[in-house]
Chains A and B, each alone.
Chain A
Amino acid sequence: MIGEAKRTSVTVQEQKISIDNLLFFVIEANSSFKIEHLMAYDGVIIDAQDESFTHHIIKSFRAHRNPEYYLKPIFLINAGEIKDPLIRDLHDGILFSLDLLPENTSKVRDIFLKTTHLDANIPELNEARILKKVFDYMYTRDLKSLSPVIDHRSSVGYTWPVISVNFQRHEESQVLELLEWADKEQLLNSEFKDRVYLCSNCSNGFMLYREVCPHCNSANVNASDIIHHFPCAYVGPIKDFQKEGEHVLVCPKCRKGLRHIGVDYDKPSIVNHCNSCDKSFQDVYVKAKCLGCHNDVEVQYLISHNISEYKIATKGASVATGAGLTFSGKNIVVPGTVPFDAFKMMVHYQLERVKNSPQIKSHLLSLHFKNIDSVKNIIGIKSYENLLKDMVELMRNHVQSSDFISVKDYDLIMVCLNDSEIAEAEQTATSIVEHLTTMVEDNLTGFSLECKTNLQLLAITLKTDELFKAALNPNY
């Protein structure tokens, strides 16, 4: 051990350690400093005696926006048993003594080498930026998957440290959403591990479960055995058969004592009684009271999510090295719309209809939102999708119920206006744009939506492909 250490030149000066031209900084437990001062160091060594301090430091690095920090090699010294999953998953090695540092330099160099392969562009969109960080980290650390770890501090009960470190702990459901989204986009592949049920209101996974009265929701419910006395067919809860001060059960109808279950009496069922509203019932509701928002709902209305291990997919792996991260939006599910493929088919049929009876006039309207990317970047994908849903709902109010709408992309919505004259269709297009612009501006102060419309008549001479070629081109 010492011999090996002697082969390399180790210099310890205050908190700095220089080794093989690599410069490390030793962060003493509970010391106060800013990590921004550590940019120049090749790695840090944390004195991990105090877990919460260690947690804080690791989080400061890994959650940082700058790759110089979030990819920084971190070693721990004086670490005992590590319980915190965030510490456990996000360090690069545990040193039993500083003398062992030279053995880890190759690891540091490997990280540096891989870092040079990374694409230096940082996406603007918050979700994309975080995923890029995750893929960078996985690439430099040779991680092939993100495993869920039980964590009582996570609001969903599980955490995936590499990605979760970028969020506050009460935001863990956003981690879940982002992972599910990356799975849909085939950046990651999921493998089922467990299932959790989250509050439909605040996505918290911590609940108080109790049986409540289906009539008044009170938990003041008592269960009671029902007794059936065979000889006289009397049926009632056990209390009907109990007399004060007596141990034996006596039938209130025929006054006979109950002797032998299965022979002269039976307990065919259990009935609950609510002391709050005095109603009886067999079927109790199981309700979950959310510890986050105190929302009290029946368990069937909790939102179930799969907890999966996420394995990196080819598409995800290439994100780190420069494939770029695009959000196709093809998985957006907006109520009241049809998937684009189906939409195309329906327009095709409409066109056929027009060919058969030329007196029918139908129009294809496409709406391109030119500057929507910046909105996405400000409010995030999820809020943007909600905005999109509101926009579609608003459009629904301006078209006939027989018209169909499709969200082709985050910046392209199409509507087929069936049986409408040109003036009518133009009028509809104008009022939709007007209302959409107003709505978006009301919601996002200082932003003004640029919307380009394209209105085409479904003419007999047209083919479906030509129709869509024009409709899909924002500069038409």
Chain B
Amino acid sequence: MHNFIDEFIDYALSMDTITFVRLFWFFFLFEFTRYFIVDFAVLLIWRFKQIIFKHKWDQARERLFAEQPLISIIVPGKNEGKHIHKLTKSLNEQTYQNYELIIVDDGSDDQTELICRDLERNGLIDLFIRNDVRGGKASGANTALRFSKGEIVVHLDADCSYDYDAIEKIILPFYYDEKIGAVGGNVQVRNKEVSLCTTLQAIEYAHSIGVGRIVTSELGIYRVVSGAFGAFKRQALERVEGWDIGPGLDGDITVKFRKMDYRIFFQPEAMCLTSAPDTFKKLQNQRLRWDKSLVRFRLRKHRDVFFPHANFKIKDFIAFLENITYNLLLNIKWYFYVADMLINASAMLWFIVPMNLILYTLNNYAKYFLFMNFRKRRNDHRGYFLLIFRLWFSTLVTSYA
């Protein structure tokens, strides 16, 4: 063992830079450049803009509270009755109160109808619509949309919980910039201490949402407004006549918004906590669902963005490339890299594998401590990084996810 470490260090020191980059091109090209250098630069710009535009944000808030627009909070779902009372209570605590709450029960087979009717009678729900037959997520949201009256429609999940100012924060961007058509909230993991699986997801969410979405939003290529927490301009929603069917509900509508020239904005201040799957098996199922939606979303429905015509916008194109690269093709490239190493550097695998782990680990540490300053609730995750074991796992999970 001791010999191996000595040999490993000697070998690393004797290697010239070009060979090193050649052997670890995957890391340098994607992980380091895209997810470290670019992210860091954008985060700096973002922070800088936050400071210089603080006055504009304050004005937006003043205008919001002066106008007090009615907003519609819509919550479609199946068998969510047990969560609804808690949700109404947490909404009562919100700093923004001019809202109507619409719950759509999409064919529940439990006590949901009874519970919600009761809450409706007691004035805790403004409108409860029960569908006996399940119609799907999109139709549930569309039902609520059709009967809502607010200028802004906020889409929530019944089993998530929200910060006391989350509603205020998620509608604020509409007053900051007229061109903003949809705002995504900051979804983080609530049950992070339950199992290793949820801990890793908490880290992943913190990275990909808490930081990643600030970056994509800043670059103008943010695309997925979370179904768990998103706000939409009613005008825009009506122009596209609501959500479309399919698993890619969240992504679809924002593409349509972009085509209408609306900006999609990520609001890290609007905090929402969700329960992550607590076993890897459940996680895998969830990810499979997400991947299916991604393929459909990218390649079938919006093929037109690949081919320049009236709808073409260079930013959309980049957004697509970005996502395809880092969500779908990334895996292929990863395999390509593995193949490359096996064929061209098979003799050095003893060095390449541990070195990759070290690079990823160091990179993650660096990212963690550096980006911590940009995350909301930065201290929450500190505990999880104490175990190097977990960090390695996160490396694996993030590169495969």
- Measured CB to CB, the residues of A under 8 A from B are 214, 226, 228, 230-237, 240, 252-253, 266, 268-269, 271, 279-283
Nearest CB on A from B135, distance (A): 5
Residues of A within 8 A of B117 (CB): 283
B247 at the interface (CB under 8 A from A): no
Is A271's CB under 8 angstroms from B129's CB? yes
Is A235's CB under 8 angstroms from B128's CB? no
- Measured CB to CB, the residues of B under 8 A from A are 107, 117, 120-121, 127-133, 135-136, 138-139, 142-143, 146-147, 241-245
Is A269's CB under 8 angstroms from B131's CB? yes
Is A253's CB under 8 angstroms from B139's CB? no
Residues of B within 8 A of A280 (CB): 127, 147
Is B147's CB under 8 angstroms from A252's CB? no
Residues of B within 8 A of A228 (CB): 131, 135, 139, 143
Is B135's CB under 8 angstroms from A266's CB? yes
Task: Report how far A232 CA is from B107 CA in the complex, Å.
Answer: 19
Task: Report how far A282 CA is from B242 CA in the complex, Å.
Answer: 21
**Given A233-B244, A233-B245; A283-B120 close (CB under 8 Å):** yes
Q: Using A232-B244, A281-B127, A283-B117 as known contacts, list a sample of 18 further A-B pairs with CB atoms less than 8 Å apart, ordered by residue number in A.
A: A214-B121, A226-B143, A231-B245, A233-B138, A234-B241, A235-B142, A236-B142, A237-B146, A253-B242, A268-B132, A268-B133, A268-B139, A269-B130, A269-B131, A271-B129, A271-B147, A282-B130, A283-B120
Closest residue on chain B to residue A231 by CB atoms: B245
Residues of B within 8 A of A236 (CB): 142, 146
Residues of A within 8 A of B146 (CB): 235-237, 240
Closest residue on chain B to residue A252 by CB atoms: B241
Task: Report how far A214 CA is from B128 CA in the complex, Å.
Answer: 12
15 contacts between A and B (CB under 8 A): A214-B121, A226-B143, A233-B135, A233-B136, A233-B139, A234-B242, A235-B135, A236-B142, A268-B131, A268-B135, A268-B139, A268-B143, A269-B130, A269-B131, A282-B127
Is A283's CB under 8 angstroms from B147's CB? no
Task: Report how far A214 CA is from B121 CA in the complex, Å.
Answer: 8
Nearest CB on A from B239, distance (A): 11
Task: Report how far A235 CA is from B120 CA in the complex, Å.
Answer: 22
**Given A266-B133, A269-B130; A233-B120 close (CB under 8 Å):** no
Task: Report how far A268 CA is from B76 CA in the complex, Å.
Answer: 14
Nearest CB on B from A262, distance (A): 9
Residues of B within 8 A of A214 (CB): 121
**Given A230-B245, A234-B242, A253-B242; A283-B128 close (CB under 8 Å):** yes
Task: Report how far A252 CA is from B146 CA in the complex, Å.
Answer: 12
Closest residue on chain A to residue B145 by CB atoms: A235
Residues of B within 8 A of A283 (CB): 117, 120-121, 128
Task: Report how far A214 CA is from B147 CA in the complex, Å.
Answer: 16
Residues of B within 8 A of A281 (CB): 127
Residues of A within 8 A of B139 (CB): 228, 233, 235, 268
Is B138's CB under 8 angstroms from A282's CB? no
Nearest CB on A from B367, distance (A): 39
Is B128's CB under 8 angstroms from A282's CB? yes
**Given A271-B147, A280-B147, A281-B127; A233-B132 close (CB under 8 Å):** no
Task: Report how far A432 CA is from B144 CA in the complex, Å.
Answer: 59
Task: Report how far A232 CA is from B138 CA in the complex, Å.
Answer: 9
Is B132's CB under 8 angstroms from A269's CB? yes
Nearest CB on B from A42, distance (A): 64
Nearest CB on B from A223, distance (A): 13
Task: Report how far A41 CA is from B294 CA in the complex, Å.
Answer: 102
Residues of A within 8 A of B136 (CB): 233
**Given A283-B121, A283-B128; A235-B245 close (CB under 8 Å):** no
Task: Report how far A232 CA is from B253 CA in the complex, Å.
Answer: 12
- The CB with the most chain B CB atoms within 10 A, among A228, A237, A271, is that of A228
Task: Report how far A268 CA is from B139 CA in the complex, Å.
Answer: 10
Task: Report how far A266 CA is from B143 CA in the complex, Å.
Answer: 13
- The CB with the most chain A CB atoms within 10 A, among B117, B121, B129, is that of B129
Task: Report how far A386 CA is from B60 CA in the complex, Å.
Answer: 61
Closest residue on chain B to residue A300 by CB atoms: B121
